[in-house]
Amino acid sequence: MNAASLAYYVSPANLRPLAFKLMRKAALALVVKGLIGVIPTACAQQPAPQQIAAISAPTISIDNFAFSQPSLTVPVGTKVTWINHDDMLHTVADEGKSFKSDPLDSNETFSHVFDKPGTYKYFCSLHPHMQGTIVVQ
């Protein structure tokens, strides 16, 4: 910058537009910063996919001739999965016959989507004392 242009910028007549220019720049920077600051907040409000999966796909394990959650309440549309952790075969059979698994070997799973509200009592057809209830709301 030469002396002439320096004199131009610092002359009182030009100080006001220069200050205005600087303020506009600062304001723009603040707006951009504000927008960037809002983005992570908006994203943080979305539930993580893992949380959705945990809520909508409960798993009931079969351990020691028992269902791990004897009674479970879920919203309509929930997919419930059973997994057999015993060395014995077990089944998952609805009393109302709306679902029935094949005999499940160790670590095999069976899933059913509950798309109608109601109370579903189920049992193991090989060991009928093994019982559970799914309440669908």
Name the residues that contact Cu ion, by CB under 5 A: 90, 124, 126-127
Nearest-angstrom CA–CA distance, 2 and 25: 24
Of 86 and 114, which has the nearer Cβ to Cu ion? 86
Of 121 and 127, which has the nearer Cβ to Cu ion? 127
Q: How far is the CB of 76 from Cu ion (least distance, A)?
A: 28
β partners of residue 131: 123
Q: How far is the CB of 117 from Cu ion (least distance, A)?
A: 27
Of 67 and 78, which has the nearer Cβ to Cu ion? 67
The H or E element containing residue 15 is helix 12-44
Of 83 and 126, which has the nearer Cβ to Cu ion? 126
Q: How far is the CB of 101 from Cu ion (least distance, A)?
A: 11
Sign of torsion over alpha carbons 22, 24, 29, 33: positive
Nearest-angstrom CA–CA distance, 105 and 77: 27
Q: How far is the CB of 97 from Cu ion (least distance, A)?
A: 18
Map tokens 């409960």 to a residue.
58
Of 78 and 84, which has the nearer Cβ to Cu ion? 84
Q: How far is the CB of 126 from Cu ion (least distance, A)?
A: 4
8 A C-beta contact, residue 93 and residue 123: yes
What's the Cα-to-Cα distance from 4 to each of 14, 75, 92, rounded to whole Å?
13, 77, 91
